[in-house]
C-alpha cells in the first residue's frame, strides 16, 4: 500500500509539470494584455511599456517560462498584479469556504445519490426507478445557476427560510453556517447527484444479475441485505471512479455557485482573476485545481484496492 | 425404498415460459420425491428444465419471466409456493441449501470466504456468539477437506482454485445441516480428480448430516457414481425414471438411450504411421509467469517446464491434465500469445519462438485456435460473415474470394451459407462452435489448436462437434493440438496423448497405450478419477 502511494505521488510530478506548461502557454497565448489593464484607461504607451518591463512580460517566452518554473519550485507563486498580495496567501485565505462547500456537496451526494441509485436498480422499472431517473435528467439538464437562483427565489426571498447569500464559517457559528451553506451545497450537488445516481443504478443493476447475488438469496438473506451487503460493494468500483471524475465537475460548479451565492471562495477568486487578467493568480489557481485533481485520483486508486481485493497495481 | 415422509415432494409442477418461445412450459407436470440419505439425480441437456426445477424449489425463479402455473412443492410438508417472503428467507440456507454450478461467479468476489460461510449462520442464528461461529466455520472447512482452514478463511475467492471454491460453496450449503441440498451441476466446472473427491464428499456428508440431495447434472458418469434414483428430463418433461442400474443399463426411452450413447467413452482411432517431417516441433519450451504483489513480493510460476514434442502433418495430439497443469499456457505459447523464456518452437523447421511484428503476424495465419466458450469468443456485435472474412482479408485475400471461401466453409461445418448474415446470439452453443471452427479454417491453417473446444457443450452436441473435427481433418488434412481435461473425449479424437502436470509432460505416447497401459502414476490417477469409470454400459442395440 505504501509502495502504491509512493509510486502514485512520484507519477504526479511529471503530470504537474505538464499542467504547469499548459497553464503557462494558455495564458500567454490568449488575447489581452495585463499591462494594459493594470496601467488603466488613461495611461500612455510609455507607462504601459514600463509596467510590461517591470513584470518581465517583454522578455522571450522561454525565459519567462523557466523563470516562472524556478519560482514555483521554490514555492513562490508570484504576486497578484491586482492586489499586490502573494498568490499563495490569496488562495489560502479563500480556501475555507470552497472546501466547506465542496465537501458538503460531496457528502450530500454520496449519502443521497448512492442509495437512491441502488434502490432504483433494485426496484428496476418501478415508479421509484422512473422518479429517480427523471430527477437525474433534470439535474443534468438544468444549469447550476438556474437552480441556484430558483432556490434563492423560492426558499430565501419568498419563503424566507434561508439567507439569500453570504458566508459564515462553520468554525465560528455552526448553526448559521448550516443555514448559509444549505442552498449553495444543494445547488452544487445536484448535477453531481444526477451523475452518481445514474451510475450507481446501472452498476448495481448489472451486479444484481450476477450469480453470487442469487447465492446470497439462496443463503436466506433478506432483500435489503442482498442489496447493501452483496450488490453494492461489488458495484463500488465504477461508482468510485465517477465520484472521482465528478470532482472535476464540482470544480467548475464551485465557480458558478460561489458567484450566485456570493461566497468568498476560490471560485470567485478565479472569476475575478480571469476578468482582471491577473496572470499570477490564474496560474496559481489552475495549478491548485490540478493538484487537487491529482490528489483525488490518488485517493480513488487507494479506494479501489480497498473495495476490490482483486485489484492490484 | 424409504417409506418415511420425503424431505422434498414435488407434485405436478408446471412452470410457464413467456409467450413467443418455442414451447409454452419450461417444466411441465413434474413429480419427484427426495428422501433422507438419498441422492436423486435429474439428468438432461440444456433446455430440459432441470435447472428451472432446482430454482423453483428454492423459489429463486425470476418471477416476471418464469411463473409456476401448477402443482406443489413441499419441503418437509410445507408448501414452498404458498409461504411468505419472510418465511422463504428463513428456509433458504437453513432447511434447504443450494450449490451452484459455477463456483467462481457464485461466490461474492469482494467478501472473504470465511465471512461468506459465516454469513449463513449470522443470518439464521444471530444469537450464536462470534467465536462459536468462527469455530463452526473452521470445522466446516475441515469437513469439506479445505487445506489450512485458519489461513484460508481470510482469502478471497479469486485466490483459491476452482475445486476449493466449490468446496467453499458446499461448506456454505452444509453450515446449518439443511434437510435438502440442491446441487446444480456441482462438479461440471471441475477436474476429474477434484470431481471424484467432491462426489465422495457428498456421499460422506449425506450420511453424516442425514440430509437428502437433489442433484442436477448432464453427466451420466456422475449419475453412475452417486445416484440412488434417476429422473431423465427432456424439454421440460420427465421421459424416464428409476434406479440407476435400470436407467443406465436398460434405458427404455429412445432419448435416454441417445444420451447414454453420446456419453464419451474410451474409444481409439486406428493407429496411423506418422513418418513425414513434423509440421511442428517443440523443444525444451519453458515459460514463467511473474507477478509482484502489493507489498512488493515477487511470485514466479513455472507454467511450462522444458516441454518437448513433435506434431506430424494431419496428426492430432491430445494435451490432458488438470487445471493449472499448463495446458492452456502451452496452447497460448504455441500461438505466440506468450513469449517463452527459452526453448524452440520449430514450425516447418523455422524457429518462431522469438518472432515479433509482421513476421509474427504472418506466422499466426498457419496456426489457428478454437476456444472453449463459443459464447464469449465471437464478437456479439458483428455478423458471422464479418468474423469469417476479416482474417483472410487482413492476410491479402480479396473480399469476393474471402466471402466465397466463407460460404464454402459454412457448408463444410454443416451450417447454411445464409447464416453469414446473422449475429452470434441467433445460434445455439453447438452451432457457434461450428462457426468458430469455420473461422479458424478460413485462414487455411496447417495446425489447429483446440482449447477445451467441446467442454462447454451438451454431450450429444459434443459428439457431433467431435465428429465434425474428424471429418474436416480427414478432408483438409490439418494437424491438431487438442487440449482437454476429459480423457474420454481425448481418446476419441487423438492419435497421441501428452499428459501434463505442473508444466511438464509426464507421459507422451499413442492414445491407446497411454490410457490402457499408463506408465506414470499421475496418468493412472487421472484415469481412475474418470466419473463412471466402472460404468461400461453397452448401449442397447
Q: Cell numbers 479563500 label which residue? A: A94
B412-421 pLDDT per residue, tens:
888 888 888 8
Of A220, A236, A307, the CB nearest to B92: A220
Task: Characterize B208-234 residue by residue with b for buried, 16 or more Cβ atoms within 10 angstroms of its Cβ, and e for exposed.
Answer: ebebbbbbbbbbbbbbbbbbbbbbbbb
Range of lowest pLDDT (A17-21, A275-279, B72-76, B488-492): A275-279
Q: Are A213 and A231 in contact (CB under 8 A)?
A: yes
Non-local CB neighbours of B528 within 8 Å, separated by 6+ positions? B196
On whether residue B92 sits in a domain, the answer given is: yes
Non-local CB neighbours of B107 within 8 Å, separated by 6+ positions? A212, A215, B113, B116, B157, B165, B168, B169
Confidence of residue B45 (pLDDT cuts 50, 70, 90): confident
Distance between CA B199 and CA B185 in Å, rounded? Answer: 11
Across B281-301, average pLDDT: 75
Interchain proximity B105–A1, CB inside 8 Å:
no
Query: Does the structure show a pLDDT above 60 at B541?
Result: no
Interchain proximity B106–A309, CB inside 8 Å:
no
Confidence of residue B534 (pLDDT cuts 50, 70, 90): very low
Q: Is B87 on the interface with A (CB under 8 A)?
A: no
B381-411 pLDDT per residue, tens:
889 999 899 989 988 889 999 999 999 999 9
Asked whether this complex has an ipTM greater than 0.95, the answer is: no
On whether residue B257 sits in a domain, the answer given is: yes
Looking at B202, B232, B262, the residue that finishes a domain is B262
Which chain B residues are Cβ-neighbours of A308 within 8 angstroms?
109-110
The reply to whether B111 and B240 lie within a common domain is yes
What residue ranges in B387-473 does DSSP mark as E strands?
Answer: 447-451
Bridge partners, residue B345, by sequence? B282
Task: Find how far residue B229's CA is from the centre of its chain.
Answer: 23
What is the pLDDT, as a whole number, of residue B317?
Answer: 94
Instruction: Output phi, psi for B288, to 5 deg.
Output: -125, 130
What is the pLDDT, as a whole number, of residue B297?
Answer: 60
CATH classification of the domain holding B248: 3.40.50.300
Looking at residue A79, the DSSP 8-state letter turns out to be: B
Bridge partners, residue B15, by sequence? B27, B68
Quick one: residue B306, left, alpha or beta (phi over 0 = left, psi -120 to 50 = alpha)? left
* Angle subtended at Cα B508 by Cα B503 and Cα B510, rounded to the nearest 5 degrees: 150
Give the three cell numbers for residue A92: 489560502
Q: Is B368 exposed, middle or buried (0-12, 13-18, 19+ CB in 10 A)?
A: buried
Q: Nearest-CA residue of chain B relative to A233?
A: B110
Interchain proximity B156–A221, CB inside 8 Å:
no
Task: Find how far residue B505's CA is from the centre of its chain.
Answer: 23
Interchain proximity A210–B97, CB inside 8 Å:
no
Give the three cell numbers for residue A30: 490568449
User: Shortest Cα distance from B273 to chain A (angstroms)?
Assistant: 49
Distance between CA A89 and CA B14 in Å, rounded? Answer: 76
Distance between CA B519 and CA B527 in Å, rounded? Answer: 12
* CA distance readout (Å), A61 to A69, A115, A284, B448: 12, 52, 18, 62
Q: Is B167 exposed, middle or buried (0-12, 13-18, 19+ CB in 10 A)?
A: buried
Q: Are A288 and A91 in contact (CB under 8 A)?
A: yes
Non-local CB neighbours of B408 within 8 Å, separated by 6+ positions? none
Non-local CB neighbours of B342 within 8 Å, separated by 6+ positions? B284, B285, B286
DSSP H or E run through B302: strand B298-311
Confidence of residue B292 (pLDDT cuts 50, 70, 90): low
Per-residue pLDDT of chain A (313 residues; tens, 9 = 90+): 777 778 878 888 888 889 888 888 887 777 767 677 767 777 778 888 887 777 777 788 888 888 888 888 887 887 887 788 888 888 888 888 888 898 899 999 989 999 999 999 998 888 999 999 998 888 888 887 888 888 888 888 888 888 877 788 888 888 888 888 888 888 888 888 999 999 999 999 999 988 899 999 999 999 999 999 999 999 999 999 998 888 877 877 888 888 888 888 898 898 888 888 787 888 888 888 888 888 888 888 888 888 888 877 6
Query: Does the structure show a pLDDT above 90 at B195?
Result: no
Looking at residue B324, the DSSP 8-state letter turns out to be: T
The reply to whether B249 and B389 lie within a common domain is no
Looking at B218, B242, B262, the residue that finishes a domain is B262
The reply to whether B393 and B248 lie within a common domain is no
Distance between CA B341 and CA A254 in Å, rounded? Answer: 55
Query: Does the structure show a pLDDT above 90 at B35?
Result: yes
Domain residues for the domain of B401 are 380-442
Which chain A residues are Cβ-neighbours of B100 within 8 angstroms?
211, 214-215, 218
On whether residue B338 sits in a domain, the answer given is: no
Distance between CA B226 and CA B60 in Å, rounded? Answer: 26
Looking at chain A from residue 168 to 227, which residues have their Cβ under 8 Å from any Cβ of chain B?
A: 210-212, 214-222, 225
Average per-residue pLDDT for chain B? 87
Of A210, A219, A309, the CB nearest to B119: A219
Non-local CB neighbours of B321 within 8 Å, separated by 6+ positions? B327, B485, B499, B500, B501, B526
Q: Which has the closest alpha carbon to A204: A172, A183, A233?
A: A233
Confidence of residue B130 (pLDDT cuts 50, 70, 90): very high
DSSP H or E run through B34: strand B25-34
Q: Does domain A87-307 fall into CATH 1.10.3720.10? A: yes
The full set of domain ranges for chain A reads: 2-73, 87-307
Distance between CA B525 and CA B193 in Å, rounded? Answer: 8
Distance between CA B186 and CA B100 in Å, rounded? Answer: 6
On whether residue B163 sits in a domain, the answer given is: yes
Q: Rg of chain A over CA atoms, in angstroms? A: 24
On whether residue B42 sits in a domain, the answer given is: yes
On whether residue B116 sits in a domain, the answer given is: yes
On whether residue B316 sits in a domain, the answer given is: no
Q: Which has the closest alpha carbon to B98: B26, B179, B163?
A: B179
* CA distance readout (Å), B20 to A263, B408, B440: 61, 33, 35
What is the pLDDT, as a whole number, of residue B533?
Answer: 53
What is the pLDDT, as a whole number, of residue B540?
Answer: 36
Bridge partners, residue B309, by sequence? B282
Q: What is the dihedral of CA B78, B84, B89, B95, to 10 degrees?
A: -10
What is the pLDDT, as a whole number, of residue B320?
Answer: 92
Looking at B236, B262, B288, the residue that finishes a domain is B262
- How many structural domains is chain B composed of? 2
Of A220, A230, A309, the CB nearest to B156: A309
B79-112 pLDDT per residue, tens:
988 889 999 999 999 999 999 887 778 999 999 9
SS3 for B179-195 is CEEEEECCCCCCCHHHH
On whether residue B223 sits in a domain, the answer given is: yes
Other CB atoms within 10 Å distance of the CB of residue B36: 16
Interchain proximity A308–B109, CB inside 8 Å:
yes
Of A212, A220, A233, the CB nearest to B94: A220
What is the pLDDT, as a whole number, of residue B367?
Answer: 93
Bridge partners, residue B318, by sequence? B482, B497
- According to DSSP H, which parts of B21-96 are helical? 50-58, 85-91
Amino acid at each position: 500500500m505504501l509502495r502504491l502511494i509512493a509510486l502514485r505521488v512520484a507519477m504526479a510530478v511529471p503530470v504537474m509539470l505538464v499542467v504547469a506548461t499548459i497553464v503557462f502557454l494558455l495564458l500567454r497565448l490568449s488575447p489581452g494584455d495585463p499591462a494594459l489593464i493594470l496601467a488603466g484607461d488613461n495611461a500612455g504607451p510609455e507607462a504601459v511599456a514600463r509596467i510590461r518591463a517591470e513584470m518581465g512580460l517583454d522578455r522571450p517566452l522561454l525565459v519567462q517560462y523557466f523563470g516562472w518554473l524556478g519560482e514555483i519550485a521554490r514555492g513562490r507563486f508570484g504576486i497578484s498584479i491586482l492586489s499586490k498580495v502573494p498568490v499563495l496567501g490569496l488562495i489560502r485565505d479563500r480556501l475555507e469556504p470552497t472546501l466547506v462547500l465542496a465537501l458538503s456537496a460531496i457528502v450530500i451526494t454520496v449519502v443521497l445519490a448512492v442509495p437512491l441509485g441502488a434502490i432504483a436498480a433494485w426496484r428496476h422499472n418501478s415508479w421509484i426507478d422512473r422518479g429517480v431517473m427523471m430527477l437525474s435528467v433534470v439535474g443534468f439538464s438544468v444549469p447550476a445557476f438556474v437552480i441556484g437562483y430558483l432556490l434563492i427565489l423560492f426558499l430565501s426571498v419568498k419563503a424566507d427560510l434561508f439567507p439569500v447569500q453570504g458566508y459564515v464559517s462553520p468554525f465560528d457559528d455552526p448553526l448559521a453556517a448550516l443555514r448559509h451553506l444549505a442552498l449553495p451545497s444543494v445547488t452544487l450537488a445536484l448535477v453531481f447527484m444526477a451523475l452518481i445516481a445514474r451510475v450507481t443504478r446501472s452498476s448495481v443493476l448489472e451486479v444484481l444479475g450476477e450469480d453470487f447475488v442469487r447465492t446470497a438469496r439462496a443463503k436466506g438473506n433478506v432483500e435489503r441485505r442482498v442489496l447493501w451487503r452483496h450488490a453494492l460493494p461489488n458495484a463500488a468500483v465504477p461508482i468510485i471512479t465517477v465520484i472521482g471524475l465528478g470532482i472535476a465537475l464540482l470544480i467548475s460548479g464551485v465557480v458558478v455557485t460561489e458567484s450566485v451565492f456570493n461566497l468568498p471562495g476560490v471560485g470567485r477568486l478565479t472569476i475575478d482573476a480571469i476578468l482582471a487578467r491577473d496572470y499570477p493568480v490564474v496560474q496559481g489557481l489552475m495549478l491548485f485545481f490540478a493538484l487537487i485533481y491529482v490528489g483525488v485520483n490518488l485517493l480513488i486508486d487507494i479506494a479501489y484496492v480497498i473495495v476490490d481485493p482483486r485489484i492490484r497495481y | 425404498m424409504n417409506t418415511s415422509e420425503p424431505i422434498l415432494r414435488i407434485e405436478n409442477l408446471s412452470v410457464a415460459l413467456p409467450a413467443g418461445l418455442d414451447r409454452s412450459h419450461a417444466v411441465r407436470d413434474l413429480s419427484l420425491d427426495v428422501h433422507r440419505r438419498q441422492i436423486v439425480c435429474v439428468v438432461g441437456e440444456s433446455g430440459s428444465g432441470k435447472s428451472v426445477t432446482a430454482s423453483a424449489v428454492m423459489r429463486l425463479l425470476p418471477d416476471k419471466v418464469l411463473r409456476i402455473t401448477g402443482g406443489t412443492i413441499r419441503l418437509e410438508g410445507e408448501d414452498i409456493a404458498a409461504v411468505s417472503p419472510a418465511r422463504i428467507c428463513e428456509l433458504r440456507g437453513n432447511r434447504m441449501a443450494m450449490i451452484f454450478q459455477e463456483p467462481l461467479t457464485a461466490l461474492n468476489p469482494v467478501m472473504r470466504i470465511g465471512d461468506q460461510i459465516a454469513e449463513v449462520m449470522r443470518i439464521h442464528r444471530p444469537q450464536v456468539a462470534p467465536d462459536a461461529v468462527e469455530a463452526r466455520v473452521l470445522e466446516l472447512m475441515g469437513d469439506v477437506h479445505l487445506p489450512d482452514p485458519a489461513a484460508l478463511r481470510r482469502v478471497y475467492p479469486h485466490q483459491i482454485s476452482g475445486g476449493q471454491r466449490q468446496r467453499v460453496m458446499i461448506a456454505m450449503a452444509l453450515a446449518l445441516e439443511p434437510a435438502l441440498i440442491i446441487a446444480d451441476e456441482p462438479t461440471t466446472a471441475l477436474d476429474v480428480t477434484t470431481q471424484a473427491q467432491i462426489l465422495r464428499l457428498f456421499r460422506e456428508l449425506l450420511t453424516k448430516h442425514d440430509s437428502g440431495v437433489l442433484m442436477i447434472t448432464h453427466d451420466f458418469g456422475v449419475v453412475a457414481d452417486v445416484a440412488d434414483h434417476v429422473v431423465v428430463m427432456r424439454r421440460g418433461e420427465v421421459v424416464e425414471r428409476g434406479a440407476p442400474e435400470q436407467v443406465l443399463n436398460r434405458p427404455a426411452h429412445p432419448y435416454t438411450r441417445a444420451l447414454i450413447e453420446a456419453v464419451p467413452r474410451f474409444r481409439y482411432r486406428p493407429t496411423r504411421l506418422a513418418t513425414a517431417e513434423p509440421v511442428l516441433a517443440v523443444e525444451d519450451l519453458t515459460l514463467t509467469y511473474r507477478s509482484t504483489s502489493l507489498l512488493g513480493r515477487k511470485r514466479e510460476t513455472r507454467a511450462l517446464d522444458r516441454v518437448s514434442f513433435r506434431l506430424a502433418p494431419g496428426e492430432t495430439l491430445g494435451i490432458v491434465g488438470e487445471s493449472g497443469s499448463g495446458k492452456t499456457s502451452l496452447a497460448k505459447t504455441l500461438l505466440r500469445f506468450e513469449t517463452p523464456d527459452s526453448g524452440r518452437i520449430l514450425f516447418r523447421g523455422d524457429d518462431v519462438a522469438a518472432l515479433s511484428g509482421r513476421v509474427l503476424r504472418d506466422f499466426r495465419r498457419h496456426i489457428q485456435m478454437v476456444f472453449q466458450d463459443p459464447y464469449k469468443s465471437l464478437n456479439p456485435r458483428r455478423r458471422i460473415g464479418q468474423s469469417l472474412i476479416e482474417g483472410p482479408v487482413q492476410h491479402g485475400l480479396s473480399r469476393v474470394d474471402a466471402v466465397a471461401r466463407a460460404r464454402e466453409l459454412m457448408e463444410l461445418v454443416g451450417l447454411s451459407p445464409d447464416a453469414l448474415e446473422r449475429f452470434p446470439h441467433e445460434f445455439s452453443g453447438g452451432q457457434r462452435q461450428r462457426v468458430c471452427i469455420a473461422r479458424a479454417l478460413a485462414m487455411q491453417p496447417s495446425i489447429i489448436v483446440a482449447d477445451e473446444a467441446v467442454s462447454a457443450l451438451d454431450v450429444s452436441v459434443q459428439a457431433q462437434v467431435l465428429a465434425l473435427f474428424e471429418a474436416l481433418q480427414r478432408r483438409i488434412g490439418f494437424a491438431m493440438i487438442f487440449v482437454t481435461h476429459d480423457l474420454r473425449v481425448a481418446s476419441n479424437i487423438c492419435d497421441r496423448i501428452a499428459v501434463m502436470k505442473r508444466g511438464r509432460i509426464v507421459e507422451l505416447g499413442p492414445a491407446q497405450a497411454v490410457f490402457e497401459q499408463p506408465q506414470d502414476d499421475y496418468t493412472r490417477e487421472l484415469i481412475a478419477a474418470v466419473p463412471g469409470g466402472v460404468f461400461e454400459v453397452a448401449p442397447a442395440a
